[in-house]
């Protein structure tokens, strides 16, 4: 974490707002952007004065390293509004810490904490009308960093651009999700960049996921690349299994993202007296639990989807359906997290961060 | 490979050339670009009419998927000129085949062969003064594809841009290279995208490589992610070991790029009656050969570097120096390939491709 004295942010306001043209009841995820964006360039060895400008296309050299070497990292965050128009973020310090962890692994300079928070604050104050109150509504925030140096030797960039763009969001996945356990393709390896929100980790999943989708499964649960025997994460979500009344999720490692929703679920489980085991989970164990009826739930946890219940999994040609249950952990955690995010429940752990 | 009838290429010529400002004796790799570039957009489910325009910065949305999900692939090629100003490429059909193989793995639509070749031909005719004759001089060509759709859901793009930019080049690595055998970090996994020239594969190597460089080693030879016992490739080069008079290189697989220089070396070895084994190579074997004196050479093979002799390797804290030898295989193959590329040797295998 780099601390540095912040300069003022240069702000250029949009002359008119696009908000009237947006149908907030019919939002496709990640396709509509607010009136402003945050931009900060790294040049001459340091982050320059940040600015907020109207959301717009940008000019970049075709030789910019990001296009050739995928030197890019990002975060996913959300802003929420309560019924009194107060605006909140959820555990934003963790996003800042994580983007810098991702950046370090991708040889990108860390971004100063005060720039990050001042940028978010100014941006959300300008675009706060885009945050609609009510559970399920949010403003998805996408901080990201790209390598901009116009040079195509295989080496880290000398210049970067840090940006935050904002997109109004409804729930990410509608309804339940059917998943496939990976048997051939893999997402990451020990010693690799799987723990980082590095851009290339995501693009690499699109093809295997498209094959899964053709078979009727929306997502893949990735397994370890060496043996495909242990379940890891879903690429955009961490994964929880409920066997009996016990929750199980894989430990963080080189290959698995340290998800903020994941760790919130683990804490809420503790608060609620639900046993949660953080350990390796084998495909064999989950198949056996599905067969003997002790597998009660599988759900994904991530910022975009919050909690995403999984209704079936496929492995080795066998499809296992997971019946709906009343009072599911998935709905319990989803409601619990949403209530904290929207200032409708007590914030025992200091997760809410108000934007003033 | 998609065949499709080519439309004419729209060509806008640069009003003036930048070539007079370039010092061809002092070129940093990949920082100087020629007067023109090739651009072709994928929209409405198909590649549109290609164009060649003056080399310039471009406009792109900050939400373009390439910035967020690393959906991008590239190729590296070179154009050469002989003493009679004839211009040649080296095995360009393999580059076309490989960019489409990379594209398929990254869920990017394949690029038509006739567009690729017509584009290269028109571009090189326009910018042929940038190709200097003489062994060691070349014009490095960088075809690449980026995902341009302005949408940040984690899904493949609906729109893409294919481009070719050109950069005059001298030899990529100057002098000999010291390498480190990877023991902790890894480059790719079975079932992953290591075989593809996917952008993210390269950015992921920058941090481990920077650590190696601090220890005095310019490059890393990657080992298998599961055990770190087998030597794979160097990230921008394939790797050959010479034990006694036998050459050994790792087989292609999910993790190792199918290098064009690599397979040219294998063929030239056959032509010259040099035994070449394509098989797994263990760290243990190379350490033992270095200790008993039978390890005569290690060299990298890749388009940018052609052949890059390695003078030392480090593993588990031990540094093994490799003495210079006369009549090295490295210099033999380098000269052999350069002579074919520059039309100074017979082209037994039809590798030269003349641009007319």
Contacting residues of A for B105, CB less than 8 Å apart: 204, 207
- CB distance A154–B202 less than 8 Å? yes
For A174-226, how does the pLDDT look when each residue is reduced to its tens digit (9 = 90+)? Answer: 677 999 999 999 999 999 999 999 999 999 999 999 999 999 999 999 999 99
> Which domains does chain A show, CATH number per domain?
10-169 (3.30.470.10), 177-341 (3.20.10.10)
From the list A30, A151, A203, the residue facing B71 with the nearest CB is: A203
For A217-253, how does the pLDDT look when each residue is reduced to its tens digit (9 = 90+)? Answer: 999 999 999 999 999 999 899 999 999 999 999 999 9
Q: Which two tokens stand for residue B151?
A: 């949408």
For B317-351, how does the pLDDT look when each residue is reduced to its tens digit (9 = 90+)? Answer: 999 999 999 999 999 999 999 999 999 999 999 99
Contacting residues of B for A63, CB less than 8 Å apart: 30, 33, 142, 165, 167
Pick from B289, B223, B272, B217: nearest CA to B250: B223
- CB distance A153–B185 less than 8 Å? no
| Section A85-114 average pLDDT | 98
ipTM tops 0.90: yes
For A137-179, how does the pLDDT look when each residue is reduced to its tens digit (9 = 90+)? Answer: 999 999 999 999 999 999 999 999 999 999 999 865 567 799 9
In angstroms, the separation between the Cα of residue A79 and the nearest Cα of chain B is 17
SS (H, E, C) chain B: CCCCCCCCCEECCCCCCCHHHCCCCCCCCCCCCCCEEEEEEEECCEECCCEEEECCCEEECCCEHHHHHCCEEECCEEEEECCCCCEEEECHHHHHHHHHHHHHHCCCCCCCHHHHHHHHHHHHHHCHHHCCCCCCCEEEEEEEEEECCECCCCCCCCCEEEEEEEEEECCCCCCCEEEEECCCCCCCCCCCCCCCCEHHHHHHHHHHHHHHHHCCCCEEECECCCCCCEECECCCCEEEEEECCEEEECCCECCECCCHHHHHHHHHHHHHCCCEEECCCEHHHHHHHHHHCCEEEEEEEECCCEEEEEEEEEECCEEEECCCCCCCHHHHHHHHHHHHHCCCCCCCCCCEEEEC
For A265-317, how does the pLDDT look when each residue is reduced to its tens digit (9 = 90+)? Answer: 999 999 999 999 999 999 999 999 999 999 999 999 999 889 999 999 999 99
The mean predicted confidence, pLDDT, of chain B is: 95
In the prediction, which pLDDT does B1 show? Answer: 42
Angle A252-A254-A260 from CA coordinates, rounded to 5°: 40
- CB distance B165–A152 less than 8 Å? yes
| B205 → chain A, closest CA residue | A106
Q: Which of residues 242-271 of B touch A (CB under 8 A)?
A: none
- In the predicted model, is pLDDT for residue B2 greater than 70? no
Contacting residues of A for B74, CB less than 8 Å apart: 68
- Report CA A149 to chain centroid distance, whole Å: 27
The mean predicted confidence, pLDDT, of chain A is: 95
In angstroms, the separation between the Cα of residue B234 and the nearest Cα of chain A is 12
| Section B147-162 average pLDDT | 97
In the prediction, which pLDDT does B170 show? Answer: 85
Contacting residues of A for B59, CB less than 8 Å apart: 57-59
- CB distance A66–B69 less than 8 Å? no
CA distance B297 to B286: 10
- CB distance A67–B37 less than 8 Å? no
Q: Which of residues 102-131 of B touch A (CB under 8 A)?
A: 104-107
In the prediction, which pLDDT does B268 show? Answer: 98
């Amino acid at each position: 974490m780099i601390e540095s004295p912040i300069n003022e942010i240069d702000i250029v306001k949009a002359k008119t707002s696009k908000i009237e043209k947006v149908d907030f009841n019919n939002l496709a995820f990640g396709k509509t952007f607010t009136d402003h964006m945050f931009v900060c360039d790294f040049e001459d060895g340091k982050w320059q004065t940040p600015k907020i400008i109207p959301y717009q296309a940008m000019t970049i050299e075709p030789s910019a390293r990001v296009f050739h070497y995928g030197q890019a990292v990002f975060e996913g965050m959300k802003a929420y509004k309560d019924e009194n128009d107060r605006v909140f973020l959820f555990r934003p310090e963790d996003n800042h810490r994580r983007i810098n962890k991702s950046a370090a692994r991708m040889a990108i300079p860390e971004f100063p904490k005060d720039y990050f928070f001042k940028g978010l604050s100014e941006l959300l104050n300008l675009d706060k009308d885009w945050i609609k109150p009510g559970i399920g509504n949010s403003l998805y925030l996408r901080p990201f960093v790209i390598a901009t140096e116009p040079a195509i030797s295989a080496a880290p960039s000398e210049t970067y651009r840090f940006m935050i763009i904002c997109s109004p969001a409804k729930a990410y996945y509608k309804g339940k999700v059917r998943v496939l356990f990976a048997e051939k393709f893999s997402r990451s390896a020990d010693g690799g960049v799987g723990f980082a929100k590095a851009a290339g980790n995501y693009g690499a999943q699109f093809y295997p996921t498209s094959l899964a989708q053709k078979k009727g499964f929306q997502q893949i649960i990735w397994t370890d690349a060496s043996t495909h025997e242990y379940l890891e994460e879903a690429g955009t979500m961490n994964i929880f299994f409920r066997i009996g009344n016990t929750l199980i999720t894989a430990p963080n490692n080189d290959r698995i993202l340290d998800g903020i929703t994941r760790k919130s679920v683990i804490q809420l489980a503790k608060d609620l007296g639900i046993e949660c085991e953080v350990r390796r989970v084998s495909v064999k164990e989950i198949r056996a639990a599905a067969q003997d009826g002790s597998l009660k739930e599988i759900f994904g946890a991530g910022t975009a989807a919050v909690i995403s219940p999984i209704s079936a999994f496929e492995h080795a040609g066998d499809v296992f359906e997971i019946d709906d249950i009343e009072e599911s952990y998935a709905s319990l955690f989803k409601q619990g997290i949403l209530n904290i995010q929207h200032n409708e429940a007590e914030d025992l752990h200091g997760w809410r961060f108000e934007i003033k």
